Amino acid sequence: MKDFLKSLIERPIDTLVLIGAVALLLVSFISFSLINGQSAFEINAKPNAYLFGPGCLLLILFIWRNRRQTGISANENRDYAYRLEIDSDHLITISKKDISDIVGDQYSAFILPANTSLNDTCITDDRSALGSFFLRRFPAKISEMQELIARKAREVLSLEEHALIDVQPGFSLLLRNVGGSVDNVIIVAVSENIGSYGIQATTNSIVQSVKNAFRIASENGFSTINMPIIGTGHGGVDFSMSLMFICLQGIAGMKHEGNHHIKLVNLIIYDPENKRKMTVKSIAAIMKSYIAMSYKGR
């Protein structure tokens, strides 16, 4: 009831239509007369057709507008997904989801973004892909996860125990069975802290991150990749540009760079208000045209 009243306040035209309908329907059952100079009102069993008819029409109009508005709102909040079928063995999906809701297994890996020092504070921010993933899965082990990332990075880089970590953009690090789970995570250094300019990512760092992460995934036999649109948060890269480059590098990675183990790439869009739906739809259409010209037209 509260939501209904709130919607009426937000839609004044519908409110006026409803008030008019109710007024006409009520008045249609009342007759007015003047007897000996005094007014008299009487409730009738049958309505006045000249008032009852328009009242019904206004009520039908209100119901139609209300259902139409409700339908539009439901459609705007609906999940969306697009499929980019490269060939019979390789597929990219682009879908509205929360990456923390996706269930991993031994044959899949999550690609999650960090910065070049790998001490990303985003791991404690549930609005970021990195934070959303770790906070939902390992809420009591965030410090342990940060230590795990740093320790694994120093092992790969052959650094001493407390040495400062500073990798190149695109550096990728595999964490198997994180926290004793079935989740395999590939951390990619997609952004870097550039002094007074702050944390930044570039299209080049996005491409290098995807390229290196795919190589690691394929080498370790992962057939499915789940990843957000990296570089668009603190990194500041335009969402549509990042999505386009990820799609292109994803296609190249599966088709031309020897990563034959990878069969499915799920690109995850966090978009609770569907603000990016039309952008995603447009880029998906562009990618489908590119695939059709480059592969299916041969």
- Residues 50, 120, single domain; the answer is no
Give me the residue label for tokens 């370790």: 220
- Which distant-in-sequence residues (6+ apart) come within 8 Å of 145 by Cβ? 123, 134, 138, 178, 179
Domain check: are 98 and 198 in the same one?
yes
Domain count of the fold of the chain: 2
Residue-level pLDDT at 157: 86
- CB contact set of 24 (below 8 Å; sequence gap of 6+): 51, 52, 54, 55, 58
Amino acid 78: pLDDT? 75
Determine the pLDDT at residue 16. Answer: 78
Whole-prediction pTM value? 0.72
Q: Could you tell me if 210 and 292 lie in one domain?
A: yes
Closest among 210, 191, 207, 198 to 119, alpha carbons compared: 191
* Same domain (yes/no): 240, 256: yes
Judged by phi (left if over 0) then psi (alpha if -120 to 50, else beta), residue 37 lies in: left
- Residue 31: give the domain boundaries: 2-76
Q: Where are the alpha helices (DSSP H) in 49-182?
A: 49-76, 129-137, 142-157
Separation of alpha carbons 137 and 235, rounded Å: 24
Place of tokens 């328009």: 54
Are 233 and 115 part of one and the same domain?
Answer: yes
- Among residues 41, 4, 12, 46, the alpha carbon closest in space to that of 29 is found at 46
Pair (95, 34) in one structural domain: no
Which of 52, 76, 100 is the endpoint of a domain? 76
pLDDT tens across the length of the chain (298 residues): 455 455 545 567 777 777 887 787 777 777 766 566 666 667 776 777 777 788 788 878 777 776 665 554 444 557 899 999 999 999 999 999 988 889 999 999 999 998 888 875 677 777 778 878 888 888 888 888 888 888 898 998 888 888 888 889 999 999 999 988 999 999 999 998 776 677 789 999 999 999 999 999 999 999 999 999 999 987 889 999 999 999 999 999 999 898 889 999 999 999 988 899 999 999 999 999 999 988 865 5
Residue 72's pLDDT is: 44
**From CA 283, how far away is CA 250, in angstroms rounded?**
14
Residue with tokens 């906070």: 135
Domain end, chosen from 51, 76, 101, is at: 76
- 87/72 same-domain check: no
Q: What is the pLDDT of residue 74?
A: 45
Residues 17, 129 within the same domain: no
